[in-house]
Amino acid sequence: MDAADLLENEKVQVVNVNNGERLETYVIKGKRGSGIICLNGPAARKALVDDIVIVISYAEMTREEAKAYKPVLVYPDSHTNKLK
């Protein structure tokens, strides 16, 4: 959450690269530094352990703000989900 600048309860879209599933959900805080990305409740049926997922957060902004905006991209290590 820290690396991606996500807030607890923030609405996100989760895209599963392995099976093409997409879902909207919200961020739940986990153990800091664990590297765990977990889907809870019904969303858990949309992915398997070791699936590759992309978590997308959107924002509303003016055209001028959008031109200056630099998105936060996080590329974790594929084995630990921790930053390289």
Residue 10 is part of which domain span? 1-84
In this prediction the pTM is 0.88
Helix (H) or strand (E) holding 15: strand 11-16
Within the chain, residue ranges assigned H as helices are 63-68
Sheet with strand 53-56: strands edge to edge = 22-26, 11-16, 53-56
Q: Which residues contact 56 (CB under 8 A, 6 or more apart)?
A: 12, 13, 14, 15
Q: Which domain CATH number covers 83?
A: 2.40.40.20
Residue-wise pLDDT tens digits, 25-81 = 999 999 998 888 999 999 999 999 999 999 999 999 999 999 999 999 999 988 788
Q: For the chain, how many structural domains are there in total?
A: 1
Whole-number Å distance between alpha carbons of 8 and 30: 10
